[in-house]
Structures are given as C-alpha cells and as structure tokens.
Amino acid sequence: MPRRAKSRRCDEEYRQEAVHGGARRLSLSFLRNGPGGDASRGRFLGRLYAAMDPRVLGALRRVPRERFVPRKLAAQAYEEKALSIGEGQTISQPFIVAAMTQALQLRPTDRVLEVGTGSGYQAAVLGELAREVYTVEILEDLSLRAQGTLRELGYSNIHFRVGDGARGWPEAAPFDAVIAACAPEALPPALIEQLREGGRLVIPVGSTRKTDSEQVLWLYTKTAKGFEAKELMPVRFVPMV
C-alpha cells in the first residue's frame, strides 16, 4: 500500500525542531494529560482512546499534526480542541478525528472519499490506513496548501480535487468509505450513491447556525435496499459550502 516515502527519523526530527516556543506536544500527548493539564478531562479522554482500534491510534501517532496547522499554532497542535486554519475553516480536535476514522472501520484495501480536505490532516490519517484516498475541497487555496503539505510528507496514495464535495467524485466511485469534515443541513444523496453496498459514510448533519441545536454525527451503512443510519454523537462542524 502506498505510504509516506520519507523516513520516520526525518519526520521526528521535524517534530523536534519545528514546534517552536519550547512546546514538545509530540506523539499524541493529549492522550496522557488532556488540554491545559486538565487531569480529569485527560483521564476521561484516555478511557475513550483506550477503547479505540490500535491501528487508528497508530495512524494518529505517525502523522505529525503540527505540520497541518499555522506555525503560530504549532504549540497547540495536540491540544484537544479545534484550531483555525484560515479561510473560515478549522482542523478538528484530535478525538473527533479519531472517532470518525474508527467509525469507518477501514481495511488496507479500501478506497475512501473525503469531503472537505481542509488542512489535509484527516486525509493523512486515512492515507495511513487505506489503499487510496480521494479528497475534495471547495476552497482552492486550502486544497493547494494541503497538497503541498501531504506531498512534502511523501504521501502518494492521496488524490485531490477542487470542487463541490456534496457531489462526491463520481468518476472514482464506488468507494468503500466516505467521510465528511463539514456539515450539510441534509444528507447529500450523491455520497450514499457513490458507496458500494456495505460501505460506510460518516458525516455531521444539521444546522450550522449557532443559535440552533448542535449537529449530529451520523454513521450510514449502505444496504441492498437503501441504508441504515446510526447516531454517533452531537458535534459542531463548519458548514458544507
């Protein structure tokens, strides 16, 4: 399976040198301490992470999250919170990335569609676990930035498109899994249509107005007769634009 071409040693050297301000939040330090040293929250998150697939946690450990945030926020890269990446977009907090990835139940032979490339971090995590990743971003500047970062890190199994993610990537369908990092107010039919039977879609759905109730993260599994839906958790994502 195509993976990163660069050595793990080079990645680790970058982690040690690039995270400025003396911060050394490496190798998912949020698993141990939680944000801001909050011990009770850290223990809570630790219990949640402990139940996760070791393959997912391994992928998170291998991807240098600080490479996907603005340099001024690199010291906060592993804190359990979303961070701004510009263009009105964010990189999701680490636990949400882990939970959404786990829900996909990826296999090494899978082909995955991602809606909302954003920083490219989620695509990198997917690229560690799946054979091919197809990622769509409507904001060209964000897509180009993510492409640069992922290519610098040596990922060769991630394919990019600038366009409307709600339309999916029909030429590359069907997919074994689909994941969305932005929230539509209703489920886009194309994303279900482009799943193979038995495929899984993880997506936040709901209003993006702050005055309304929270969105819900859903898991949809495609069946011969349509799909099955399972509610996972309340969330708050940027809108699908």
At residue 47, the pLDDT reads 66
Residue 3 located in a structural domain: no
Asked if 43 and 96 sit in the same domain, the reply is: no
Q: What is the pLDDT of residues 169-209, one digit of tens each?
A: 999 999 999 999 988 989 999 999 999 999 999 999 987 66
Residue 1 located in a structural domain: no
Q: What is the pLDDT of residues 149-160, one digit of tens each?
A: 999 999 999 999
Residue 56 located in a structural domain: yes
Match 């702050």 to its residue by tokens. 210
Asked if 53 and 138 sit in the same domain, the reply is: no
Asked if 153 and 37 sit in the same domain, the reply is: no
Beta-bridge mates of residue 180: 115
**Residue where a domain stops, chosen among 67, 84, 101:** 84
| CA 188 to chain CA mean position, Å | 19
Chunked mean pLDDT (size 10), the chain, 241 residues: 43 35 34 46 64 88 93 91 92 92 97 98 98 98 98 98 97 98 91 97 83 80 94 87 74
Return the closest-CA partner of residue 18 out of 146, 120, 152, 117.
152
**Residue where a domain stops, chosen among 84, 110, 128:** 84
Q: Would you name the residues annotated as active-site residues?
A: 92
If residue 5 lies in a helix (H) or strand (E), which one and from where to where?
A: none
> At 113, which CATH number?
3.40.50.150
The total domain count for the chain is 2
Asked if 204 and 132 sit in the same domain, the reply is: yes
Residue 240 located in a structural domain: no
For 200, the domain range is 89-235
Asked if 113 and 215 sit in the same domain, the reply is: yes
Strands 175-180 and 158-162: unpaired
**Residue where a domain stops, chosen among 50, 84, 118:** 84
Residue 71 located in a structural domain: yes
pTM above 0.85, yes or no: no
